[in-house]
Amino acid sequence: MSTPAPAPQTLLVTLSGPDRPGVTSEIFATVEQCGGASVLDVEQVVVRGQLTIAVLLTSPDGCTDLRDRVVATGARLGLSATAVLGQGDNAERRGGRASVVVIGSPLTSSAVLAISSTLADEGANIDRIRRLARDPVTTLELDVSGAALERLRPALALVAARERVDVAVSPGGLARRGRRLVVMDVDSTLIQDEVIELLARRAGREAEVAAVTEAAMRGEIDFADSLHRRVEALAGLPASVFAQVREDVRLTPGAETLVRTLKRLGFTVAVVSGGFIEIVQPLAEHLGIDHAHANRLEVVDGRLTGRVDGPVVDRAEKAAALQRFAAQERLPLSRTVAVGDGANDLDMLSVAGLGVAFNAKPVVQQQADTTVNVPYLDTVLYMLGLSRDDIDEAEAAEQEQRLAVADRPRT
């Protein structure tokens, strides 16, 4: 049995100080002047103009003063520098890789302390941290190893509630990448309104319908029964009311950015609503959403009868629709994301790989995988690991493309 070769001698160089172009090249020029070396690892970050760079090298043969040379180069560049000899590469990362996304407005030091302490208590190590967004919310992504997701999610959910931040825990590694299906509720999620209340306003019964809606969303009364009660209030309205209400609908801030970005990534986007297809379908077509499923209102002789045409899209049907869409797209449920705010979304949030409670009722926040409590729907993109820079660059590229198309001469 052969004896393993001894780990090679290595040199860990760490420098920090004001950032400027050319720092990294200067460091590696110094290494090259000393006969070169094998680069095992490099980590570099800039925070408010301050650079920190760590380089792990094999120590080149015949260059006994590399440490001194690197420290001198750092001093010449105005950087503090250390160079420590050791043996071998970094320790191999443990299993249990996870991504922990933290969103705060503001993100307080006490919240970061509580989250990092909880990770340590659960035996998880923070390997890397990067900022995904700074405005209008501060978002950090923590790359974690040694995590047990079934314990980590409930433990961090308690921290999130106490510290008033949003925390999402997702599997890391390859599970973080690749195509997904994102299914959203419509009323009070994709849009700011409750469509049935907009319709009821036209019938002069908005307050009555709104009270029943609130009770249903809190889970206090059965959704199907509440829907039938509310729809009865719409009897006699002309079918032309659909076009009028479509004009009244207000998208949630960030909704268009969310859908456009997901589509650019090659994701499939769907909406499932306890509202009405007469409003939902045109909205989905306008946004480029792939699938739409909602209730249909019965119309006879050009007027609403006060009845639903067909089975009610309730919480069980919402979950079933998500599963159907996933099967159609040939995606496992682990690759699905559901976003909703009311009790009738709970089954859908439960069966999805990641269930996001968006500005949701307390009963939903308590049961969802994660919460978003800021009024920007595109914040969901951070939960998937995208940064604000990624999103803004994609938006700018699309704007340039639209302008280029508009400037083309017509033939």
Range scoring the smallest mean pLDDT among 55-69, 304-318, 367-381: 55-69
The strand pair at 297-300 and 303-308 is best described as: antiparallel
CB contact at 8 A, 57 and 13: yes
Confidence of residue 394 (pLDDT cuts 50, 70, 90): confident
% of the chain beyond a pLDDT of 70:
94
Determine whether 369 is an active site residue. Answer: no
Q: Which residues are within 8 A (CB) of 306 and not within 5 positions of it... i.e. 6 or more apart? A: 231, 232, 233, 234, 235, 236, 298
% of the chain beyond a pLDDT of 90:
61
Catalytic residue among 19, 166, 187, 314: 187
- In this predicted structure, the answer to whether residue 2 has a pLDDT above a threshold of 60 is no
- In this predicted structure, the answer to whether residue 1 has a pLDDT above a threshold of 60 is no
Determine whether 187 is an active site residue. Answer: yes
What average pLDDT score do residues 360-389 get?
A: 92
Dihedral sign for Cα 363, 176, 147, 130, please: negative
What average pLDDT score do residues 361-367 get?
A: 91
Tell me what the pLDDT averaged over the chain comes to.
Answer: 89
Q: Which residues are within 8 A (CB) of 364 and not within 5 positions of it... i.e. 6 or more apart? A: 340, 341, 342, 343, 345, 346, 349, 357
Catalytic residue among 19, 143, 166, 185: 185
From CA 370, how far away is CA 191, in angstroms rounded?
20
Long-range interactions of 21-26: CB distance < 8 A, separation 24+? 23/51, 23/53, 23/77, 23/79, 24/53, 26/73, 26/77
Predicted local distance difference test score (pLDDT) of residue 395? 77
Predicted local distance difference test score (pLDDT) of residue 64? 67
What are 16-60's pLDDT values in tens digits? 999 999 999 998 898 888 777 788 889 999 988 999 999 888 866
Predicted local distance difference test score (pLDDT) of residue 10? 85
- In this predicted structure, the answer to whether residue 192 has a pLDDT above a threshold of 90 is yes
- In this predicted structure, the answer to whether residue 193 has a pLDDT above a threshold of 90 is yes
**HSE-up of 321 (CA within 13 Å, CB side)?**
26
What average pLDDT score do residues 138-163 get?
A: 91
What are 239-291's pLDDT values in tens digits? 999 999 999 999 999 999 999 999 998 999 999 999 999 999 999 999 999 99
From CA 401, how far away is CA 371, in angstroms rounded?
34
Predicted local distance difference test score (pLDDT) of residue 171? 86
What are 151-179's pLDDT values in tens digits? 999 999 999 999 999 999 988 876 677 89
Predicted local distance difference test score (pLDDT) of residue 7? 67
